[in-house]
Structure 1
């Protein structure tokens, strides 16, 4: 599994994801380094997207 890589600032990424997926809240974005799989699991439950699709979307931001 690859680690999440962020091109922009974390706040900017959160904002864009919250715009695309209205169900997401700030609590869904609690992120601890090395716990990216846990973050993706929370996002996956809320967005009903696959983890890979979420990874790709985040990488594109």
Structure 2
């Protein structure tokens, strides 16, 4: 998914992101503002994942979104 698309659709995607990664706070979601790298960092922080695992989770999430 293109970074511009994530940013432009961030308000709609926030609910799905919150559902997928429930440990992210509303403040986290506000800070992320559709920035993929910030999302990956917050997932790492909240879930204690390695960077490559967080990247893979976001990539899988994006692929699922493309299918819908």
TM range (shorter): 0.5 to 0.7
Name the larger-Rg structure. Answer: 2
TM-score by length of 1: 0.56
Contact persistence 2:24–2:42 (CA under 8 A): no
In the aligned structure 2, how far is the partner of 1:59 from the partner of 1:28? 22
Q: Alpha carbon RMSD of aligned pairs, Å?
A: 2.9
How many residues end up aligned between the 2 structures? 57
Deviations 1:16-40 (A, max 9, x none): 111122211122222367x532331
In the aligned structure 1, how far is the partner of 2:33 from the partner of 2:23? 21
Alignment correspondent of 1:23: 23
Structure 2 residue runs without a partner (length 5+): none
TM-score by length of 2: 0.53
